[in-house]
Structure 1
């Protein structure tokens, strides 16, 4: 009977470790999605900004139908599109993927607290340790700064596109 209890306890422990691996995998997935969103988005924004620079150099203008202020520089239009794309990326990143990442981290912290004693580990787990080094507030500030700085640079170029050329 004792061997049967030990085997059952061992299987339960193995199951918990496998479950913990899945939790970490989900955390890695959402972190990867945040990174990919930024990477692919910035690639698209850089392409729009390069096209804006070329159109500004060549002084390409477009006529917007039903607009008395026409023509408008194509570079300005492309920079507005870049800002709109940046806003969409910020929303997708911080309001969706980041929230899912935080939820998976919080779940991982709770799970680790519950099973650390069974694993004979004397601390609260790697997830809680990482969270203590990079708090949610710091992570949010870094993310907000990332988007704010990029948006500021694009906005400065957009404002500059309306200034008279010397």
Structure 2
């Protein structure tokens, strides 16, 4: 198929192919959005799995604590009696599970999501925002609200204006979330070990 010729310059009329090009760009952008949604869903599922694992471990730990020494391993270390309760082992297993889930979430799914978002931002910056007059495209706006401290969006002058201070990235927020979760489990592990060993020192009534 030959391009339509401009009557004055004799050059191909690029405007004639613009609608088709716009349609292709929109399709590519839609695919990028679908990819972002896919990896975001995988990230959410991994966090749900981690939280479910922690909740199950806490339930098992509490149930085993109610059984007293029946669910404890007693051994001697340097002449001292040490009680290792099953609840402590369960919490330790939960910590290892959270570490595994966090490495999968932050190291795999989140990185893939970042790549999909970066690709979407590139499309929006090159083709969509200049064409349609947006200050930011959808992927760009999501990134702005995710990475900005106290983000703002003000409708003025026929368009949306975005503001705010540079804040913590989503990756750092995820690391902080998993960090708090692991620290909480470590404190619980320490508390179980201390309490069970102190109880073993108390004389039986």
Question: Normalising TM by the smaller chain, what interval?
Answer: 0.7 to 0.9
How many equivalent pairs are there? 163
Q: Which of 184, 189, 203 pairs up with 1:153?
A: 184
Unaligned runs of 5+ residues in structure 2 are 6-12, 148-166
Q: Find the structure with the greater CA-based Rg.
A: 2
Residues 87 and 192 in structure 2, CA contact (< 8 A), matched pair in contact too: yes
Which residue of 1 is the match for residue 153 of structure 2? none
State the distance in 2 between where 1:99 and 1:76 align. Answer: 33
The correspondence of residues 55-66 of structure 1 with structure 2, limited to 5 A, is 55-59=64-68, 60-63=70-73
Which residue of 1 is the match for residue 18 of structure 2? 9
Compute the RMSD of aligned alpha carbons. Answer: 2.4
The correspondence of residues 1-166 of structure 1 with structure 2, limited to 5 A, is 1=4, 8-59=17-68, 60-63=70-73, 72-116=84-128, 119-135=131-147, 137-163=168-194, 164-165=198-199
Give the strand-richer structure, 1 or 2. Answer: 2
Give the helix-richer structure, 1 or 2. Answer: 1
3-state SS in 2 of match to 1:16: helix
State the distance in 1 between where 2:18 and 2:169 align. Answer: 40
Deviation beyond 6 Å, 4+ runs, structure 1: none
State the distance in 1 between where 2:177 and 2:136 align. Answer: 31
- Higher relative contact order by CA 8 Å / sep ≥ 6: 1 or 2? 1
Name whichever of 137-146 and 126-135 sits farther off. 137-146
**Deviation, structure 1 residue 124:** 3.6
Name whichever of 53-62 and 94-103 sits farther off. 53-62
3-state SS in 1 of match to 2:169: helix
Unaligned runs of 5+ residues in structure 1 are none
**Deviation, structure 1 residue 71:** 5.9
Name whichever of 74-83 and 4-13 sits farther off. 4-13
Which residue of 1 is the match for residue 162 of structure 2? none
State the distance in 2 between where 1:7 and 1:80 align. Answer: 66
